Structure 1
């Protein structure tokens, strides 16, 4: 039996600092009905948002899990504060493309330490955990090797989900904006409209939202209208893990 097409609503960079950006949007989505979301949670966002110090925010995440949402580990600090890059490509990726590629340069041992610390954070608060998404989707080879050793089910980049530990790729096209300036927001809409048309027959479309998108009416309204349109087109809203289950992926802990 063929599965109906799906839409996955994914909130990046979830932390106490970014919740005020997301709150009006999340409330608007909740008003649409039962639309499960995937929240990419950072245990200590930019080293100033340790979840241990924010019990109210943890209770919010507890309530989202009870509602049927999924929490995913999204780096640990979500900032790249390692030694200065010497190679020109690495310098560009870490200081021009993004300052938040936390896992771009880590060795296997370093990645394992941060991943295990993140897993322990989820265990401490009794949050189910199956997925990891690297900040800016950037992973070193050491990070990839570390992920093969851990009890996680999947990771992802901008256009695929990857089953762990073998990194089997599953097509999952995603829309994402660069919303830091007006011209970037305008260009992002043009590109996203084109991609949405191209992916009309795709089994799944991911909507990858960031806090900066929520700070501008133009981009925030785009995401809400796009979600409503995809729902009206018959797409079923799902979390990433629930959609992966329709593709034959079971949680590693249940395998």
Structure 2
């Protein structure tokens, strides 16, 4: 099977919009929307789920960046939105309620590490909204991902993605395995997935059905190739590259 001919979906990426808080990049690492668009076309990625860097780095940009991305998604067919929420900012919750109603919003994005709060402390301000819409929540973990399990158990109709599967430990793997309702996922959106047994170890321990493809702005073709050339079954490759995403986001695709 020639996997490279299969159009896939990037479920986790970001781009810079020229704000002062955007990551400082060089000619060797670019993250504008225009550049990432070229990268995803070259890698046969037909859709990308995005949030802007400014919105996940600095809470003061959340509302304005969410609105900017909402409008941009209407202009660009390939682009879909993670609406960023900070539970301490009521306006961001109210805004998310409206944006979640749109066809191009795939769920809620939380970055408690950069925004400096605890999901355990504020989860009951966010997850009732996610449960109401039966949507997905993408989280940059605050440490060991197992902390999310009480929330996943309480809000069993919310699918939670604990991002950034890495090759350092079994952190996300354990959280996925222990979720009572099967509603915890992880993604490979990290350079850490390049570790030479990260994906293989995860597939061996939890199967491939709850692992999603993402790039986190790193070279899309490189991350895609990491799956295509992994010594796992064709079925596992298809699950990670596209089938899991089609199933989990079927209401938006």
Q: How does the TM-score come out when normalised to structure 2? A: 0.52
Question: 1:34 Cα shift?
Answer: 4.9
Structure 2 vs 1, CA of residues 170 and 119 (structure 1 numbering), >3 Å: closer, same or farther? same
Residue in 2 aligned with 1:9? Answer: 10
1:87-140 deviation line (CA, Å, top 9, x unaligned): xxxxxxxxxxxxxxxx4xx5xxx35543213334566xx554351121157643
SS at match of 1:198: helix
Structure 2 vs 1, CA of residues 13 and 32 (structure 1 numbering), >3 Å: closer, same or farther? closer
Q: How does the TM-score come out when normalised to structure 1? A: 0.51
Gaps of 5+ in 1: 1-5, 76-102, 178-184, 215-219
Q: Which has the higher contact order (CA 8 A, sep 6+)?
A: 1
Structure 2 vs 1, CA of residues 141 and 114 (structure 1 numbering), >3 Å: closer, same or farther? farther
Residue in 2 aligned with 1:174? Answer: 187
Q: Does 1:74 align with 2:84?
A: yes
Q: 1:143 aligns with which of 122, 146, 151?
A: 122
Q: 2:110 aligns with which of 130, 134, 151?
A: 134
* Structure having the higher Rg: 1
1:161-198 deviation line (CA, Å, top 9, x unaligned): 95994355434232344xxxxxxx7xx466x3321121
Number of aligned positions between the proteins: 186
Residue in 2 aligned with 1:90? Answer: none
Does the 8 A contact of 1:112 with 1:146 survive in 2? Answer: no
Gaps of 5+ in 2: 1-6, 24-29, 159-180
RMSD: 4.4
Question: 1:10 Cα shift?
Answer: 3.0
